Amino acid sequence: MMPASRTALEGALAVHGLCLRGGWLPTADDALPVLPARAAAAVVWMVGQVGSACWRAFSGSRFFADGQPCLQACPVQPFGPGSYDVPACADHLHRPEGAQCMQHGCLARRACPVAAALRYEPAHAAFHMKAFAQRHC
Ligand code: SF4
């Protein structure tokens, strides 16, 4: 649903680190593309970024995980900006679905391309996963 006012539009854009840079009332000479339901555009808004606000929004978005397969590998997605949801991870480990993590090690760690040759062997990883799960039951 489209924001109903300039203030609402500014608020919706601010969430993404963007802002209004201006706008104009279009005429037929502007040859704008046809909108759904053949409605005419009342105002054309210019949207852009100012300063570093877009980077703060980006760091909290799902797109931040591009190029970081570890963040996508975990089935419970416990990773937030500067945080790690330990109870969500531990809850998963105590379920049958958590067997892969328990037996072979954290899927996120196994997906990390950094120092892949230095990963724990499955038995070693299982030892640590068992200790972690017991500590957080
Ligand atoms: S152990 Fe499993 S549930 Fe916990 S963070 Fe790693 S991949 Fe996610």
Q: What is the pLDDT of residues 35-71, one digit of tens each?
A: 888 888 888 999 988 877 777 777 777 666 677 788 8
User: Which amino acid makes up residue 26?
Assistant: P
Q: Is the pLDDT of residue 129 over 80?
A: yes
| Mean pLDDT on 67-90 | 87
Q: Does ligand 1 have an atom closer than 6 angstroms to the CB of 102? A: no
Q: Per-residue confidence at 3, pLDDT binned at 50, 70, 90?
A: low
pLDDT value, residue 32: 87
Distance 108 CA to ligand 1 centre (A): 6
State which ligand 1 atom lies nearest to the alpha carbon of 132. Answer: 1
Entry pTM = 0.55
Rounded Cα gap, residues 66 and 62, in angstroms: 8
pLDDT value, residue 62: 66
Q: What is the pLDDT of residues 98-126, one digit of tens each?
A: 999 999 999 999 988 778 888 889 999 99
H helices of the chain, in order, are 6-14, 53-59, 69-73, 86-93, 99-104, 107-111, 122-135
State which ligand 1 atom lies nearest to the alpha carbon of 93. Answer: 3
Return the structure tokens found at 11: 């608020």
pLDDT value, residue 87: 94
